[in-house]
Amino acid sequence: MAYNRCINVNCLLSTVGYQAFASGHAPPSDLTKIDPEKVHDTPPFDEPGLKQIGDNEYELVMVLQSFGFTPNKVEIPQGATVKFIVTSVDVVHGFEIAGTRVNMMVTPGHVNSMTYKFNEKGEYLILCNEYCGTGHHVMSAQLEVK
């Protein structure tokens, strides 16, 4: 009979042990989910912008909302490594930096991040590449590497 397979104590313990092991390998939840209605009150999105975290290393926290990025103009030094941390307060947007491999889908309720090192000076265009409504085509921001 099928239920006999797990009726002894050793079998039950190994099942519990396996579940504990599996949950120990779950990704950290602190940065993956967010209440989209409380983005403006939830760190780090309560203070969007650029923060230096090391030697030419930065975090850039950005909030996406139809039809713009906050902040929408950022300057960083040449050679900077930047971790982009993004979320949306409304619908699905895209986060693409033209000329780089940075390309993320930004969905409400989730935090996404990606790190990139800017070796070349210049003006980089950050653009939304997911259709998000009537203002989609004007949804962009500017990143200047000086």
- Amino acid, single-letter form, for residue 17: G
Find the binding residues for ligand CUA in span 93-122 (CB under 6 A). 93
Q: Binding segment for ligand CUA among 18-26, 37-45, 75-83, 123-131 (CB under 6 A)?
A: 123-131
- Binding pattern for the stretch 50-89 against ligand CUA, x by CB under 6 A and - elsewhere: -----------------x----------------------
Among 82, 130, 83, 70, which Cα is nearest to 106's? 130
Which long-range contacts link 15-20 to residues 24+ away (Cβ below 8 Å)? none
If one counts every other C-beta atom within 10 angstroms of the C-beta of residue 39, the result is 21
CA–CA gap between residue 142 and residue 33 (Å, rounded):
27
Answer yes or no: are the C-beta atoms of 137 and 122 closer than 8 Å: no
User: What is the closest distance, in whole angstroms, from the C-beta atom of residue 128 to ligand CUA in the complex?
Assistant: 3
Q: Which of 131, 138, 144, 146 binds ligand CUA (CB under 6 A)?
A: 131
Q: Binding segment for ligand CUA among 41-49, 76-84, 110-118, 125-133 (CB under 6 A)?
A: 125-133
User: What is the closest distance, in whole angstroms, from the C-beta atom of residue 91 to ligand CUA in the complex?
Assistant: 7
Go through 89-111 and write b for each residue having 16 or more CB atoms within 10 A of its CB, e for each that does not.
bebebbbbbeeeebebebbbebb
Q: Binding segment for ligand CUA among 8-16, 73-81, 107-115, 124-132 (CB under 6 A)?
A: 124-132
Q: Binding segment for ligand CUA among 18-26, 48-56, 111-119, 126-134 (CB under 6 A)?
A: 126-134
